[in-house]
């Protein structure tokens, strides 16, 4: 179970608003976050990853405290085991695809899982290639594969399909769906596309000015937004 | 003809120059890398003071630096006496002294290119490395250094080349002691002073050739090496 109670003052244009999230998330669920730009979606994921701090609150993941301001407890980013994929897939320019995939765990990489994910993502022919020769879709597949091979506690996807064309997007959505189900990962996805969310998520949160204003099963909740 | 031209050349000042440049470059690499890293990522508001101090040799006359180093390290000063008594080290008019002076004088040539390169590394690389469970040291070793390789090589070569041409600092702190502190630039100065223009030409032409080869190799290397960060931005 993941318990999130966090508050952070954010600036949106000329105004300030408070990101205020109080939620409990079931393990292995796939939660989509839907809302306009600048409502605090990415900040929420960055706080979960430990890349930003809330002003107050607490985050508890499977009885493990990741953040508690009153007890001054903080779990370091590198100890959280987060798989994070953003719109601009961040691949290290000096490493081949294989080196990117084994960077996290080195010799302790689960090579059986690596082979499975590589096949699933259809990147087996790219293993010795450097990122500067990859297309946008290939880069994103490598970034998602790298995140999964870590066996992350949380998989955070911040608009990972936005920069891709329709065909590539569909292909990656299907792959992500398969992977999330197969490897039982608790996943958060930020997306502006209702259809994408319906295909992937078990629950959707509608965010407005830092608050969750509506939530539930995507097909029901997103009717109004199509 | 070149052999004839260089026939009577005393090679010792040139060899000493190369030794000085090598020691200075190695010393500066050891000091400069951690310093550049600290300056690139420090959020301390007083870091501008350190940056200004490091950059001072760029605008300060070398004689000013050499003059104060001589005052600090001469055998009659407090520090000079202390170093001599407890470590048996004499910095004024010694090879160690000119290495120290060169290190201080060439500090910006090593630190600034590396610091700039580190600051230009996209923040996303650092965050991704952290998310993948890597420590700061592992990130430095496996992500940062390989991606700023070109800048490190440029800094090494610039420091080496700059030390070859040093004159003021070396003369002030080291004087002109053959085999000890008399480097090629000082040898040229002495040849001109004694109106031995042929001798001055010999040293000068060797230095011109050496400097040209060093700089040419940097430009060739920079052209042929892949600029990783640009590749990142293109995608």
Interval A25-55: pLDDT, tens: 998 899 999 999 889 999 999 999 999 999 9
Domain assignment present for residue B4? The answer is no
**Better-scored residue on pLDDT, B74 or A18:** A18
Helix ranges restricted to H, chain A: 41-49, 77-80, 97-102, 111-120, 136-149, 166-182, 194-200, 218-221
**Nearest Cβ partner of B231 from A104, A105, A132?**
A132
- Tell me the C-alpha distance between A191 and A160, whole Å: 8
pLDDT in tens, A158-199: 999 887 788 878 888 888 888 888 888 899 999 999 989 999
- Output the CA torsion B45→B46→B49→B55 (10° steps): -60
Q: In what order do the strands lie in the sheet with A154-158?
A: A73-74, A64-68, A56-61, A2-12, A15-25, A211-216, A203-208, A30-34, A186-190, A154-158, A82-86
Between vectors from CA B32 to CA B30 and to CA B33, what angle results, nearest 5°?
Answer: 75
At residue B1, the pLDDT reads 54
Q: Which residues of chain B lie closer than 8 angstroms to A52, CB-CB?
A: none
Report which of A71, A88, A59, A61 is spatially closest to residue A158, judged by C-alpha positions: A88
Residue B217 forms part of a structural domain: yes
Residue segments in chain B with a per-residue pLDDT below the cut of 70: 1-5, 225-235
> What pLDDT does B5 receive?
66
Which residues in A101-114 are b (16+ Cβ under 10 Å) and which e?
Answer: bbbbbeeebeeeeb
A81/B143 Cβ within 8 A? no
Query: B interface mutation test: which of A42, A49, A78 has the most B CBs within 10 A?
Result: A78
Place of tokens 């010694």: B94
Question: Which tokens hold the place of B203?
Answer: 């040293």
Neighbours of B229 (CB within 10 A): 18
Contact B10, B176 (CB under 8 A): no
Give the alpha-carbon dihedral of B127, B129, B132, B135, to 10 degrees: -110
Instruction: Indicate whether B233 belongs to any domain.
Output: no
Determine, yes or no, domain membership for B3.
no
Which member of A49, A104, A139 has the closest CB to residue B133?
A: A104
Q: Provide the domain limits for residue B170.
A: 9-226
Q: Does a structural domain hold residue B163?
A: yes
CA dihedral (B82, B83, B86, B89) positive or negative: negative
Burial A12-25 (b: 16+ CB within 10 A, else e): eeeeebebbbeeeb
Question: Chain B closest CA to A58's CA: distance in Å?
Answer: 20
| In-domain check, residue B231 | no
Per the DSSP assignment, residues forming a β-bridge with A73 are: A68
B211 assigned to some structural domain: yes
CA dist B167 and B185 (Å) reads 6
Instruction: CATH number of the domain at B86, please.
Output: 1.10.3720.10
Residues in A closer than 8 angstroms to B232, CB to CB, are 93, 131
Where residue A221 falls among pLDDT bands split at 50, 70, 90?
confident
The per-residue pLDDT for A180 is 80
Which of these, B32, B63, B48, B65, lies nearest to B151 by C-alpha position?
A: B32
Longest dimension (CA), chain B: 67
Task: Check residue A130 and give its pLDDT.
Answer: 96
Q: Which chain B residue has the Cα nearest residue A91?
A: B125
Residue A222 confidence (pLDDT) above 60: yes
**Partners of residue B129 in chain A, C-beta under 8 Å:** 92, 103
Q: Could you give the number of structural domains in chain B?
A: 1
> Over chain A, what is the mean pLDDT?
90
């Amino acid at each position: 179970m993941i318990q999130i109670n966090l508050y952070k003052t954010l600036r949106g244009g000329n105004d300030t608003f408070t990101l205020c999230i109080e939620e409990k998330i079931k393990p292995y669920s796939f939660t989509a976050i839907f809302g306009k730009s600048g409502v605090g979606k990415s900040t929420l994921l960055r706080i979960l990853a430990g890349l930003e701090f809330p002003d107050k609150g607490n985050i508890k993941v499977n009885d493990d405290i990741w953040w508690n301001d009153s007890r001054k407890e903080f779990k370091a980013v590198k100890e959280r085991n987060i798989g994070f994929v953003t719109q601009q897939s961040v691949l290290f320019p000096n490493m081949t695809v294989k080196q990117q995939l084994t960077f996290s765990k080195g010799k302790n990489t689960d090579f059986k899982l690596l082979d499975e994910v590589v096949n699933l993502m259809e990147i087996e022919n790219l293993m010795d290639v450097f990122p500067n020769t990859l297309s946008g879709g290939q880069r994103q597949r490598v970034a998602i594969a790298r995140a999964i091979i870590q066996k992350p506690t949380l998989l955070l996807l911040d608009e990972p399909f936005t920069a891709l064309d329709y065909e590539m997007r569909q292909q990656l959505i299907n792959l992500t769906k398969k992977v999330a189900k197969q490897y039982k990962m608790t996943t958060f996805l930020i997306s502006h596309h209702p259809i994408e969310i319906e295909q992937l998520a078990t629950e959707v949160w509608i965010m407005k000015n830092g608050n969750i204003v509506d939530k539930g099963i995507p097909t029901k909740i997103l009717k109004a937004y199509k | 003809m070149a052999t004839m031209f260089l026939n009577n050349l005393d090679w010792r000042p040139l060899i000493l120059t190369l030794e000085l440049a090598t020691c200075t470059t190695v010393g500066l690499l050891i000091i400069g890398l951690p310093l550049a890293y600290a300056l690139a990522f420090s959020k301390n508001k007083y870091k501008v003071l350190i940056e200004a101090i490091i950059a001072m040799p760029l605008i300060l006359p070398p004689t000013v630096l050499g003059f104060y180093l001589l005052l600090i390290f001469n055998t009659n000063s407090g520090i000079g006496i202390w170093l001599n008594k407890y470590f048996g080290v004499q910095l004024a008019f010694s090879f160690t002294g000119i290495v120290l002076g060169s290190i201080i004088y060439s500090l910006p040539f090593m630190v600034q290119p590396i610091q700039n390169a580190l600051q230009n590394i996209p923040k996303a690389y650092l965050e991704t490395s952290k998310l993948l469970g890597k420590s700061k040291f592992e990130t430095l070793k496996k992500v940062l250094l390989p991606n700023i390789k070109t800048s490190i090589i440029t800094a090494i070569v610039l420091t080496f080349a700059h030390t070859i041409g040093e004159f003021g600092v070396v003369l002030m702190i080291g004087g002109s002691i053959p085999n000890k502190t008399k480097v090629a630039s000082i040898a040229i100065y002495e040849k001109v002073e004694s109106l031995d223009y042929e001798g001055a030409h010999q040293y000068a032409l060797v230095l011109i050739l050496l400097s040209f080869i060093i700089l040419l190799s940097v430009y060739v290397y920079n052209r042929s090496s892949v600029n990783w960060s640009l590749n990142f931005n293109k995608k």
